[in-house]
Amino acid sequence: MQRKTAALLAGTLLATGAAAHAESEAEKAVEYRESVFHVIGHNFMPMADMVKGKIDYDAEEFATRAERVAQLARMPLEGFVEGTAGVAGSEAKPGIWSNWDDFRGKLEDLQKESAKLAKVAGKGDLQAIKPQFMAVGKACKSCHDEYKEED
Ligand code: HEC
């Protein structure tokens, strides 16, 4: 009898553990994509300030940040796991998964434009950088307008 109770208890614990695990996989996916975008944003803002003339242009710093954004732009996709639109704290709209090819295309635009920005930033000419920086900003906005809830 005692053995049976222990087995039942173990079974219950396993089942509970599995449910908690399933939940945290979705949360982990959201946390992952939000973290990548957070780091993208952290690197993007100082570049914006330099382009706007709010802070002095530092060619080396700008090039480093542009390089980082180009690398980071290749990372968020794996965090967009199907069925994670409603996870608490997420600002991802369900339309992402019903328009998957369009969403992926917008991420690819960001990858292309940010790679171009990293290249031009390496040359250190702010006037040449400006239009390409705007192209990257447009890629961010075009996806947010469609697929991210407003804060
Ligand atoms: C292909 C679509 C797409 C592109 C391109 C994109 N984003 Fe996002 N971004 C999202 C989505 C969707 C979220 C919401 C993710 C969530 O909360 O689950 C997000 C969230 C964010 C966040 C909030 C992160 C947090 O802490 O929760 C920041 C900051 C951000 N993006 C900045 C940027 C910047 C800067 C760019 C351009 C350099 C950019 N994004 C390009 C789709 C995109």
pLDDT tens for each residue of the chain, 151 residues long: 455 555 555 555 455 555 555 558 999 999 999 999 999 999 999 999 999 999 999 999 999 999 999 999 999 999 999 999 989 999 999 999 999 999 999 999 999 999 999 999 999 999 999 999 999 999 999 999 999 998 7
Walk me through the domains of the chain, giving residue ranges and CATH numbers.
2-147 (1.20.120.10)
**Pocket test residue of 138, 144, 146, 151 for ligand 1, highest count of atoms within 8 A of CB:** 144
- Tally of CB atoms within 10 A around 146: 14
Q: Which helix (H) or strand (E) holds 95?
A: helix 95-98
The two three-digit tokens of residue 13, written as one number: 């614990």
Residue 106 alpha carbon, nearest atom of ligand 1: 1
40 lines ligand 1 (CB under 6 A): yes
Beta bridge partners of 92: 148
Q: If you search the block for the tokens 């219950």, which residue do you land on?
A: 12
State residue 21's pLDDT score.
53
Residue 109 alpha carbon, nearest atom of ligand 1: 5
C-alpha 63 – ligand 1 centre gap (Å): 21
